[in-house]
């Protein structure tokens, strides 16, 4: 047997082991006596009922990194079990150990294992006990079918609707049991989800059968998203009132202490500030807090735990960088926080965003300063010193926000939830041309498949359909109007326009549906690109766009002359500045040539307009 004397890499985190902690690479063929003396952590041996790795994970709460085996298996304790329960405990422990020394392909961190073990594994073990099965290897395909049927048909507590998220949560980690089967003596012989393809496909299919509604996160309709955004902007305007009241309360508290010593009771004059009482002021703070949360979530795509992990102080939560592209300097903006989705421990990351978010962060800094006290979190808790706001509070505030602003869709108040803003953000970014890899980075997904499967269907396919719809609307706008078009594709587009205007209404609708299938319209610089790879002079690289020559390029001519003339002057000026750099000179000459051609096309349009008059 090979002994792992080295440091064991576990889910991206190094667990330093003492001299007595000789983790074995596998327990196949290892006696129970040898297993029991394996040290798993500073606090736990393999034989222990509680596997506690809190010393190895000091940044996480102890409850998140401690797993009680007897509770998981459903026995009173690990020592007083009968021989059948001992067999079941042995199988479960060996499986959990394999997750540590030789984890599945996705490399789950220990806190994730502790959480997931209470879902799919506990459900399976409970079924095994009821069915008098005490080893994973004794489970048949029929057993798995009956087990999954039982799991899917169980009602949700409180009578709530069963969703595919509900079903996936119930069996979370069950696929690992089969994936680890070759690494243990007593492995599961059959893949529970083989006939479905994956847990996601199983939950999706079963959810259609047991519930009328399918989906993880409801998508906020565009018109409702606009209203939510506008209402949130309005509510962050409460910051000045909150700061003023807190300042007055601070002065009053000092005076009140003196009054109490003098035998009088000085009550704060809430009505002077159009507030009836302290609870009413708390309500004002809640309105402001959730407005800040909504705007950050909608403009960054951050998860709940990433937003509430924001630290107080601009240098801790905001960063600006300069990026040079094609001799142009762009300023880019980032929100800085931490996520625990990509590494074993919370790790600092950046989320690109727009400058307006800095106003939101500064407002939260000011408006919640009194509640924060000496704490470090931007969104502080009322109940815990230096704590951060809880998901329960945010969920309640989101529901109150929807009711307060009468945010209705189909005549009913929209059930606003935190995770909906990620999907809204993804839609906005895809409309702006963000690719799937860039979207994965912004959403901080470990696996790109998580980006594609975002909700009950493929997010990427869904958002691509959105591009088709937007392209259809843009074609309709350009073909129906009389806006002059320039660019390399102007002549071809003119033929489209003549053809379109000669069609009946039904023929136009069919024509508009076909055009995006041949070429989606995307924004490129100041113009538009009907991208077709066979006709693209850029080779797919937008930075090499040649709008005056490329047949894919079309530009509405309105208000373009001043822009082109300014760029021509700037490129000519830079040509003199970089005259000793032949590569830059060559590039600038190409840009100048393109700009001259576009200006010439504008001149031709002006002449045609003059002749028509």
Look up tokens 């002059």; give the residue.
484
| Average pLDDT over every residue of 541-545 | 70
Please give the Cα distance from 361 to 376 (Å, whole number): 14
Over residues 85-100, the pLDDT tens digits come to 888 999 999 999 999 9
Provide the b/e sequence for 80-119 (b: ≥16 CB within 10 Å).
ebeeebebbbbbbbbbbbbbbbebbeeebbbbbbbbbbeb
Query: pLDDT higher for 217 or 324?
Result: 324
For 472-510, what is each residue's pLDDT tens digit? Answer: 777 887 887 777 888 888 888 888 888 888 888 888 888
CB 229 within 8 Å of CB 298: yes
Quick one: which H or E segment has residue 485? strand 485-486
Residues 221-232 have a mean pLDDT of 91
Bigger pLDDT: 541 vs 439: 439
Query: With contact defined as beta carbons under 8 Å apart, do 285 and 334 qualify?
Result: no
Which pLDDT tens digit goes with each residue over 421-435? 988 888 777 766 676
Contacts of residue 431, defined as CB under 8 A and 6 or more positions apart, other chains included, come to 466, 467, 470
* 40-67 pLDDT tens trace: 999 999 999 999 999 988 888 888 899 9
- Structure confidence by residue, pLDDT tens digits, 440-460: 788 887 665 566 554 334 445
Q: Structure tokens of 256? A: 């009140």
Instruction: Give buried/exposed letters for 299-310 (b at 16+ CB in 10 A, else e).
Output: bbbbbbbbbbbb
pLDDT at 257: 62
- State the Cα–Cα distance between residues 483 and 472, nearest whole angstrom: 17
Q: Please report the pLDDT score of residue 448 as a whole number.
A: 59
Report the SS3 class of residue 146.
helix
More confident residue, 151 or 79: 151
Q: How many CA atoms lie within 13 A of 307 on its CB side?
A: 30
Per-residue pLDDT for 215 more than 60?
no
The pLDDT of residue 228 is 95
Spatial distance between the Cα atoms of 523 and 432, rounded to a whole number of angstroms: 8
Q: Which of 395, 424, 423, 399 is nearest to 412 (CA)?
A: 399
In contact, 383 and 392? CB cutoff 8 Å: no
What one-character-per-residue DSSP string does 299-326 give? Answer: HH---HHHHHTPBSSHHHHEEEEEEEET
Strands (DSSP E) found in 306-462: 318-325, 328-339, 347-353, 408-409, 412-413
Task: Give the whole-number percent of the chain exceeding pLDDT 70.
Answer: 84
* 195-199, 359-363, 375-379: least confidently modelled range: 195-199
Listing DSSP states for 268-301 in one string gives --GGGGT--SHHHHHHHHHHHHHHHHHHHHHHH-
pLDDT range class, residue 195, cuts 50, 70, 90: confident
The predicted-structure confidence for 550-572, as pLDDT tens digits, reads as follows 888 888 887 678 778 888 888 88
| Among candidate residues 238, 242, 269, the one with its CA nearest the CA of residue 371 | 242
Give the pLDDT confidence of 299-352 residue by residue, as tens digits. 999 999 999 999 999 899 999 998 876 677 788 999 999 987 766 567 889 999
pTM of the model: 0.51
CA 184/CA 27 separation, integer angstroms = 7
Asked if 57 and 35 touch (Cβ cutoff 8 Å), the reply is no
**19 pLDDT exceeds 60?**
no
Residue 488: what pLDDT? 87
What pLDDT does residue 416 have?
92
- Point out which residues pair with 413 in neighbouring strands: 408
* Residue 224 in tokens: 């409702």
- Predicted confidence at residue 9, as pLDDT, reads 34
The pLDDT-based confidence of 5 (bands split at 50, 70, 90) is: very low
Q: How does the average pLDDT of the chain come out, rounded?
A: 82
Q: Which of 461, 376, 326 is nearest to 368 (CA)?
A: 376
Of 203, 233, 367, the residue nearest 296 (C-alpha): 233
Phi, psi (5° rounding) for residue 145?
-60, -45
Structure-model confidence comparison of residues 361 and 610, the more confident one:
361
277-286: average pLDDT:
92
What is the radius of gyration, based on Cα positions, of the chain?
Answer: 31
Contact (Cβ atoms closer than 8 angstroms) between residue 444 and residue 349: yes
Split at pLDDT 50, 70, 90, the class of 231 is very high
The kind and range of the H/E element at 575 are helix 561-577
Q: Given pLDDT bands bounded at 50, 70 and 90, which one contains residue 465? A: low
Rounded CA separation 428/145 (Å): 41
Per-residue pLDDT, 342:
67
- Chain centroid to Cα 387, Å, comes to 23
* Calculated CA dihedral for residues 183, 4, 13, 452, nearest 10 degrees: -30
Length of the chain in terms of residues written: 613
């Amino acid at each position: 047997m090979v002994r792992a004397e080295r440091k064991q890499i576990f889910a991206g985190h190094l667990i330093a082991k003492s001299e007595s902690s000789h983790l074995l690479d596998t327990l196949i063929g290892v006696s129970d006596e040898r297993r029991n003396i394996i040290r798993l952590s500073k606090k736990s041996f393999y034989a222990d009922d509680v596997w506690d790795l809190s010393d190895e994970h000091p940044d996480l709460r102890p409850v998140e990194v401690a797993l009680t085996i007897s509770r998981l298996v459903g026995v009173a304790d690990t020592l007083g079990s009968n021989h059948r329960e001992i067999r079941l405990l042995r199988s479960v422990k060996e499986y959990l150990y394999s997750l540590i020394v030789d984890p599945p392909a996705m490399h789950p961190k220990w806190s994730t294992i502790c959480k997931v073990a209470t879902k799919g594994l506990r459900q399976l073990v409970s079924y095994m006990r009821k069915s008098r099965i005490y080893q994973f290897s004794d489970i048949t395909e029929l057993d798995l079918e009956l087990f999954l049927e039982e799991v899917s048909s169980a009602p949700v507590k409180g009578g709530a609707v069963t969703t595919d998220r509900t079903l996936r949560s119930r069996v979370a980690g069950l696929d690992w049991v089969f994936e680890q089967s070759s690494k243990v003596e007593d492995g599961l012989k059959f893949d529970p989800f083989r006939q479905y393809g994956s847990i996601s496909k199983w939950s999706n299919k079963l959810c259609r059968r047991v519930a009328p509604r399918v989906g993880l996160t409801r998508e906020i309709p565009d018109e409702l998203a606009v209203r939510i955004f506008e209402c949130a902007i309005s509510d962050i305007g409460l910051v000045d009132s909150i700061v003023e009241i807190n300042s007055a309360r601070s002065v009053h508290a000092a005076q009140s202490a003196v009054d109490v010593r003098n035998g009088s009771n000085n009550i704060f004059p809430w009505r002077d500030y159009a507030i009836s009482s302290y609870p009413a002021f708390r309500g004002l703070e809640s309105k402001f807090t959730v407005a800040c949360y909504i705007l950050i979530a909608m403009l960054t795509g951050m998860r709940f735990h990433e937003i509430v992990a924001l630290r107080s102080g601009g240098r801790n939560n905001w960063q600006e960088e300069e990026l040079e592209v094609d001799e142009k300097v762009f300023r880019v903006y980032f929100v800085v926080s931490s996520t625990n989705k990509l590494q074993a421990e919370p790790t600092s990351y950046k989320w690109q965003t727009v400058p307006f978010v800095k106003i939101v962060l500064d407002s939260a800094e000011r408006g919640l300063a009194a509640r924060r006290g000496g704490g470090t979190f931007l969104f502080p808790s009322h109940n815990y010193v230096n704590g951060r706001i809880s998901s329960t509070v945010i969920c309640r505030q989101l529901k109150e926000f929807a009711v307060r602003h009468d945010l209705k869709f189909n005549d009913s108040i929209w059930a606003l939830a935190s995770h909906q803003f990620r999907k809204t953000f993804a839609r906005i970014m895809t409309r702006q041309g963000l690719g799937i890899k860039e979207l994965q980075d912004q959403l901080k997904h470990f696996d790109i498949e998580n980006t594609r499967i975002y909700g009950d269907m493929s997010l990427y396919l869904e958002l691509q359909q959105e591009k088709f719809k937007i392209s259809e609307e843009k074609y309709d706008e350009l073909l129906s109007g009389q806006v002059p078009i320039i660019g390399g594709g102007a002549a071809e587009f003119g033929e489209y326009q003549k053809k379109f205007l000669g069609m009946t209404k039904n023929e136009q609708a069919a024509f508009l549906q076909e055009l995006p299938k041949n070429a989606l319209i995307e924004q490129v610089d100041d113009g538009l690109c009907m991208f077709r790879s066979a006709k693209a002079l850029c080779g797919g690289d937008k930075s090499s766009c040649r709008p005056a020559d490329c047949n894919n390029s079309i530009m509405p001519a309105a208000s373009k002359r001043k822009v082109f003339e300014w760029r021509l002057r700037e490129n000519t000026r830079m040509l003199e500045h970089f005259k000793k750099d032949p590569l830059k000179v060559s590039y600038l000459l190409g840009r100048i040539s393109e700009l001259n051609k576009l200006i010439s096309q504008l001149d031709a349009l002006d002449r045609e307009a003059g002749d028509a008059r």
